Amino acid sequence: MAIALIPGSFDPVTNGHLDIMERTARYFDEVIVAVIRNPQKSEALFTLEEREDMIRDVTTHLPNVRVDFFKGLLVDFARKNGVGAIVKGLRAVSDFDYELQMAQMNVALSGIDTLFIPTAPQHSFLSSSLVREVARFGGDVTGMVPSQVAQRLKERFAK
């Protein structure tokens, strides 16, 4: 059985992430979307449970996708779960340097390759951090995140 792993912070999941999940689900028997427990970034907007919840909510149409979390090294989680390949979306050349370095480190540590899927052009400007910033200041994020996520952002910043 071919298992793919899509890791990330998903704070929150965007339509760009969802597109990569849908496309990966076509090529693999099982897809694990793994949310990092402690993003190394500044304070997360959503808790781990909220981030996992939103991903579950927006992937109900993808029966071979399951959501999990990990802490520590990604490759340790990958090995424990019998993962055949890590899958990442690539938005632009600016993503490439760091992604290449991580892919090479991960294959050196574990032998597990990373496959890159080009982000759909309509999502190439999207990032969770920009979505958070736009939503924080009351901007319209319709079309950038699934409607359930837009609602959660609205509620979060209404406080």
Binding residues vs ligand PNS (CB under 6 A): 7-9, 36, 39, 73-74, 102, 105-106
Q: Is 152 noted as a catalytic residue in this protein?
A: no
From the list 69, 15, 76, 59, the residue with the least C-alpha distance to 38 is 69
Q: Which is nearer to ligand PNS, 2 or 73 (CB)?
A: 73
Q: How far is the CB of 158 from ligand PNS (least distance, A)?
A: 26
Q: Is 88 noted as a catalytic residue in this protein?
A: no
Q: Is 79 noted as a catalytic residue in this protein?
A: no
Burial 6-32 (b: 16+ CB within 10 A, else e): bbbbbbbbbbbbbbbbeebbeebebbb
Q: Which is nearer to ligand PNS, 35 or 135 (CB)?
A: 35
Q: How far is the CB of 108 from ligand PNS (least distance, A)?
A: 9
Residue given tokens 């993503």 in the structure block: 95
DSSP assignment of 86-132 equals EEEEE-SHHHHHHHHHHHHHHHHHHS-EEEEEEPPGGGTT--HHHHH
Q: Which is nearer to ligand PNS, 22 or 95 (CB)?
A: 95
Q: Is 17 noted as a catalytic residue in this protein?
A: yes
- Which member of 41, 71, 136, 154 is catalytic? 41
CB-CB contact of 151 with 57 (8 Å): no
Q: Which is nearer to ligand PNS, 74 or 141 (CB)?
A: 74
Catalytic residues: 17, 41, 91, 128
